[in-house]
Amino acid sequence: MKIRKASALAAAVLALSLTATACGSDDDSGDNGAGSGGGGEEAQTLTIGIKFDQPGLGLKTEDGTFTGFDVDVATYVAKELGVDAENIEFKESPSPERENMLSRGDVDFIVATYSITDERKEKVSFAGPYFLAHQDLLIRADDSVGSVEEINDLTLCSVSGSTSAQNMKENLAPDADLSEFNTYSECLSGLESGVVDALTTDDAILAGYAAQEQYAGKFKLAGLSLSDENYGIGIPKGDTELQADINAALEKMVEDGSWEQFVEKNFGPSGYEYEPAPEITETS
């Protein structure tokens, strides 16, 4: 587990300081011992990947703070790993870059609406899942989509590298005109301006956008449950120790009521009907 501690340089400085104290005269051994040396190990830190542009899940606000269900889950897990909230560095993790960020060591783990798939598990490992979502469409309030067959006639937008985009192209609507961008915010602009007919991704993400004050009354979910998306916490490939520690934290989060609290806090205002906490399946 790559929880960062004091640097080698800091440790060396501390060792020299202790040596110097030990070699001093008896007069130096009074109240000026270890308690006044200012030494000791630095606080543990974690770098956690999240989304910066998903209201209700992972959002960086104008004042630089972070809000959302994934942020709350990440903060809870970090606390169980011994890292306080003030010692977390949140790093933006776009969908196409998540596997690369983990393999390069840019982050310790990722909590970013990261659906567990067999393809992804060839490159990274997961803990969890901690949430079950379903793929849907976000459409303009005066539009409607009544069936999967109708999607083939639409101009769609999704994020490159997402399971939603892949599912549309390969399974659900191969004849639809699908544009892929780096963020869902770009898709949302296209939906608002009429350039695209629908934004497709998980219903939890769509509910967060629809609930934003500036979009009140403009958009709605189509109400199509197109897939099951089990959100997991992405970790470096094969790190079973970290996987076990995070799974234990997730289990505690559900048992002590924190999971329900986080869901109500972040999704309750939108009226989103969420699924119960899923069973943890990623154990090896």
- Beta strands across the sheet bearing 88-92: 88-92, 46-50, 109-115, 229-235, 125-133
Task: Assign 6 a pLDDT band (cuts: 50, 70, 90).
Answer: very low
Domains and CATH numbers, the chain: 46-133+230-270 (3.40.190.10), 135-221 (3.40.190.10)
> Residue 51: helix, strand or coil by DSSP?
coil
Helices (H) and strands (E) in the chain, counts: 10, 13
Q: CB of 75 within 8 A of CB of 66?
A: no
Alpha-helical runs (H) found in the chain: 8-22, 69-80, 98-104, 118-121, 148-151, 163-167, 184-193, 203-210, 240-255, 258-267
Burial of 213 (0-12, 13-18, 19+ CB in 10 A): exposed
- Round the average pLDDT of the chain to a whole number and report it: 86
Average the pLDDT over 269-276 and give the result: 84
Give the integer Cα–Cα distance in Å for 127 and 235.
Answer: 7
Give the integer Cα–Cα distance in Å for 119 and 222.
Answer: 28
Residue 63 has pLDDT above 90, yes or no: yes
Strand partners, 127: 233
Q: Are strands 198-202 and 219-221 parallel, antiparallel or unpaired?
A: unpaired
What is the pLDDT, as a whole number, of residue 16? 39
Most confident of the following: 55-59, 155-159, 249-253: 249-253
Least confident of 2-16, 81-95, 96-110, 260-274: 2-16
